[in-house]
Structures are given as C-alpha cells and as structure tokens.
Structure 1
Amino acid sequence: MMQKNMKTNLYQSNPFHLVKPSPWPMYLVFGLFGFLLNLTMMMHNITDNYMMLLINVITLIYIGLLWSRDIMGEATYLGEHTSKVSEGLNMGFLLFLMTELMWFFGMFWAYFYSALTPSVEIGEIWPPMSIMPMQATDLPLFNTLMLLMSGATMTYSHHALMARNRFNSMFGLFLTMLLGFLFIICQYFEYYYCSYTLADSVYGSVFFMLTGLHGMHVMTGTLLLCLNFYRLYNYQLTSEKHTGFNTSILLWHFLDVAWLFVYIVCYYWGV
C-alpha cells in the first residue's frame, strides 16, 4: 500500500490530497444519531438507560480514534499533507470555528432575549422566582481560573514546540490536558448539585444549553489534546509541521474566550 502511494505521489501533478474512500464518516453519523436519539429520549423521560448512552459515547470515541489513526498515517507516513493541504486544513478549521461562533451567538441571543424581556409565565422577572442561580464566586470562578491557566499552558507548549524543546512542549501539553479534565469534572459536580434542571423554565433551558454546549466542546478539545500528546510523544510533530496541533490550539483558545462570555453572562450578569 505504501509503495503504491509513493508511486502515486511520484506521478501526481498537483500538491492536493485526493482523499480515499473511508467508512468512518458514515459510522460516525450513525453513532451520533444513536447518541442524540438516546439523549433526547432521556430528556423527555421516555427512558433512563444510562448504560446505552455510555455505550454510544464509547462507540463515538472509538470511531474517532480509528478515523484519527488513518489521518495520522496519511500525514506522517504517507506524506499526503503537503504545505498546500495544510493551508486548506487550517482554512477549513477556521470556517468550522465560524460556524461554532454562530452557534454560540444563537444561544446567547436566546439568553438575552429571555432575560431582557421575561415573559409573564415566569413572573416577568429574571431569573424566575423558583430559580436559585449558581453563585459566580463559587465553583464557576474556579472553573474560569482553570480554563484561563490551561490557555497559558497551551501557549507555553506551542512556543516550546516552535523552539524545538520537546520535553517542555510535552509538559505544557500535559498540564493543559490535566486542567481540561479538571474543568470537566468540576462542571459535572456543578450540574450534580445544581438546584434546577433543563426543564425548569426557559432559564434552565438556556443555561444548560450554553454551559453544556461549551462543556461538550471542552471534552472534544481535551480528546484532541490527548491525540496530539500521543503524536508529540512519538516524534510525529515538529516545529515545521504540526497542523493538527495548531488547529487544536485554535479550538482551545476559542473555548477560553467563549467561556469568559458564558461566565460573565450566565453567572454574573444574568443573576
């Protein structure tokens, strides 16, 4: 297979990567469908099968790892990711972040609309009378500090990689992963001890949609950091070629800024 690919690259007249057929996008779509279907049924109290939801999550992670394995092989061993391909990947990821920005914008729009013009159904006040909001100086402040520190350690890791200091780059990336995992754990405990749920008026809906949307992105970003740590450990990332690491950095800093807005709006201004 590698000899065939080398022969193709030898006679290829363009620097672009002609992607081979892959089953992983289709498997991922079916996995996401099962996950969202089970999650929706749990939200509407149709089922409480947490084991099936866990199986869906494990399946999605497994499919993502297999797909990532193929991508890492194309980038590292087959030489498919030329400089022109890397430019396209970076541009595509920036466009993806723009769609994520619009998603967050929609959630913030719903929050501000509900907060500035509260309906009569919730007593025309914000937050509603039945809601006891989470205090901004409690666990959310600790989460904010951890995420900001993780942005600093991520920048440190990137600068160390550019300076060809592999050990410091791995150390900074490990700290970023650790802070990401701690953020997720603290977010879980915040949800566990929260006095309201997703079904408690529009406040609960927009609060959990905003913080949950951000939390899911942090989980995805942490998994991407784990993949980059694996690649860095196996000498697959260099100061010249680290497109996957670069896109992960962009995602992480995007989540840093997004969380600052979530914290100010949901935990400080909105209470």
Structure 2
Amino acid sequence: MAQTDKYYVPAQSVWPIVGAIGLFLIGYGAATWISSDNAQASWIFFAGCVVIIFMLFGWFGNVITESMSGLYSAQMDRSFRQGMSWFIFSEIMFFLAFFGALFYARMIAIPWLGGAGNNVMTHEVLWPTFQAHWPLISTPGGTSTTAMPWTGLPLINTVILLISSITLHWAHVSLEKGQRGPLTIGLGFTVLLGIIFLGLQVQEYIHAYQDMGLTLSSGVYGNTFFLLTGFHGLHVTLGTIILFVLFCRILKGHFTPAQHFGFQAGSWYWHFVDVVWLCLFVFVYIL
C-alpha cells in the first residue's frame, strides 16, 4: 500500500476573530463616515485597517513558521492551490457584481428612464430634463459633476500596473531559475510600483473631490466610479502588503525553485488585480 502524506492540522488560532473584528470596524466606520461625514467614524475605519494589517502580518507569520518548519506536505500544497484558486474565483464574482451594476445602469436603467421601448413618458414624469447618455453627470436634484477623463493619472496608473506585472513575472522566472539577485530587484520594483499606484490614486480622488465635484453623492456615475475604483484600490493595497511580505521573505533566503507556492500565490493575486484594472480602465474611464 502506498504511503500517504501526513496532513498537518494547525492549532486553534485567534487570527480569524481578529480579522472579523477588523472587517466589522472597517464596514461600520466606512458606512457611518460616508452617510454622516462624522470625523470620529473615520477613526473607526482607520482603526479597522490597522487591525486587518496586524492580522495579516500575524497570520502570515504563523504560516511562514509552519512552512519553514517542514510541517507541510504535498497534499497541503495542493490544498493551498485549491484554496487560492477558489479565493480568486470569489474575487472575480465580487467584481462582476459591481460591473453588473454598472452595465445595468448604462444599458438598461438609463435607456429605460430616457423613454426606450414603451416608456415614452417615463422621463417626463420622473425627470423631465433627463438625457439618456453616459456618463450621467447630473442628478434629479440638479447636482452636476464632471466625468473623469481616461488621460492623465488613470492612464499613468494603467502603465504602472502593466509594468508591475512584467517586473513580477521577471521575478517569478528568476526564482524558478534560482537567480536571487534579479528576483529581489524585480519584486522590489513591483512593490514600489504598487505604492506609486496607490499614491497617484489618492491624488486622483483629491482632484475629483476638490476640483471636479465628483463625489459619492454625484448620482449613479459617482457611486459606480468610486465603488469600483475604491474596491480595486483596496485590493491593490492588500496585494502590495502581500508582495512586501514576500520581499522580506526573499531577503531572508526563503523559497526555492522547487518550493515557492507562497510566492506563486502572491503573483496570481497581483496579476488578477492588474486584469481587473484593465477592465476598469476600459469600462469606467474610456467607454
């Protein structure tokens, strides 16, 4: 009878409940902050972010210790791959829901409100001055905004993320070849590009609020714009943290050409984030 690998079962961990508390603080703080413009709610939101970062580093530390101690087997490696694959699939469904809301507003709701089909008098009753076009830069209350152009910061950020995918792939290939120097340089550049992307997105949001009048209160266009780009920015933040942890592990000599799924999982996630941004750039900024 063939010998089976031992399957390591970790001890009970506090990190899931810590993560749940952090997510609760983020959700409650963000909802209260947006709805009431309460400064105290912003502190709750940022406290939740700190808790999540603390949880990530603590949980990552436990997993790294278990991995370096030789507790994982080939079966565990397959479990990690399946888990990461399902996680990315759930993230795809998450963004598809928001893209679905965007397409519904653009392709169904706005034409219907504009009198498409048999709804000739709909806009005359609900919104007499309504014009069925996208982006919808006005609200029934008379608030007007400006659409965010695809040139400038959005285009620069697109180039940055595309370059980051190239540098990360270069680092991955270098790892598989056992070339530690190019691996460190490529991964370091990827982390730096992720930080630059986030900094430029903050500048874009400040410009939108202060100069363009584009806010979360700017009707369906402002809602979909900030929800899609904001959640993507959150994923870029998480991806940058993951890559930074991998960078620190590389400096400590972790990973080998034969065993490096932790690096591969972080690479999968980053490439997924890049693909989502390309879809955002096309459907939110250009079209």
* Aligned twin of 2:15: 24
Give yes or no for the alignment of 1:264 onto 2:282: yes
* Aligned twin of 1:9: none
Distance 2:246 2:76 in 1: 19
- Alpha-carbon offset, residue 236 of structure 1: 1.5
Letter in 2 for 1:250: W
* Aligned twin of 1:223: 241
Listed as ranges, the gaps of 5+ residues in structure 2 are 114-122, 138-143
* Aligned twin of 1:58: 50
Contact in 1 for aligned 2:195/2:240 (Cα 8 Å): yes
* Aligned twin of 2:62: 70
Distance 2:20 2:217 in 1: 28
Greater relative contact order structure (CA < 8 Å, 6+ sep)? 1
Contact in 1 for aligned 2:27/2:45 (Cα 8 Å): no
Map 1:127-142; keep pairs closer than 5 Å. Answer: 127-129=135-137, 130-142=144-156
- Alpha-carbon offset, residue 39 of structure 1: 0.9
Contact in 1 for aligned 2:175/2:183 (Cα 8 Å): yes
Using structure 1 for the length normalisation, give the TM-score. Answer: 0.91
Letter in 2 for 1:243: F
* Aligned twin of 1:248: 266
Give yes or no for the alignment of 1:212 onto 2:218: no
Q: Any idea what the Cα deviations from partners look like across 1:60-96, whole Å, max 9, x if unmatched?
A: 211211111111000112x122122111101111111
The 10-residue stretch of structure 1 (130-139 or 239-248) with the greater mean CA deviation from structure 2:
130-139
- Alpha-carbon offset, residue 13 of structure 1: 6.4
Aligned length: 257
Contact in 1 for aligned 2:161/2:193 (Cα 8 Å): yes
Q: Give 2:165's match in structure 1, choosing from 151, 155, 173.
A: 151
Distance 1:203 1:15 in 2: 53
Give yes or no for the alignment of 1:125 onto 2:117: no
Distance 2:207 2:98 in 1: 23
- Alpha-carbon offset, residue 241 of structure 1: 1.1
The 10-residue stretch of structure 1 (150-159 or 33-42) with the greater mean CA deviation from structure 2:
33-42
- Alpha-carbon offset, residue 124 of structure 1: 2.8
Contact in 1 for aligned 2:28/2:45 (Cα 8 Å): no
Letter in 2 for 1:58: V
Contact in 1 for aligned 2:24/2:48 (Cα 8 Å): no
Secondary structure of the residue aligned to 2:36 is: coil
Q: Highest CA radius of gyration, 1 or 2? A: 2
- Alpha-carbon offset, residue 261 of structure 1: 0.6
Contact in 1 for aligned 2:157/2:200 (Cα 8 Å): yes
Q: Any idea what the Cα deviations from partners look like across 1:219-255, whole Å, max 9, x if unmatched?
A: 0000000110111111111111111110000011111
Identity %: 30
| Aligned-residue CA RMSD (Å) | 1.5
Distance 2:35 2:285 in 1: 27
Distance 2:145 2:82 in 1: 43
Secondary structure of the residue aligned to 2:155 is: helix
Q: Any idea what the Cα deviations from partners look like across 1:123-157, whole Å, max 9, x if unmatched?
A: 43221242311111111000000000000000000
- Alpha-carbon offset, residue 56 of structure 1: 2.2
* Aligned twin of 1:190: 204
Letter in 1 for 2:34: M
Give yes or no for the alignment of 1:239 onto 2:239: no
Contact in 1 for aligned 2:25/2:47 (Cα 8 Å): no
Q: Any idea what the Cα deviations from partners look like across 1:22-56, whole Å, max 9, x if unmatched?
A: 01111110111012101110010152223333222
Distance 1:62 1:27 in 2: 9
Using structure 2 for the length normalisation, give the TM-score. Answer: 0.86
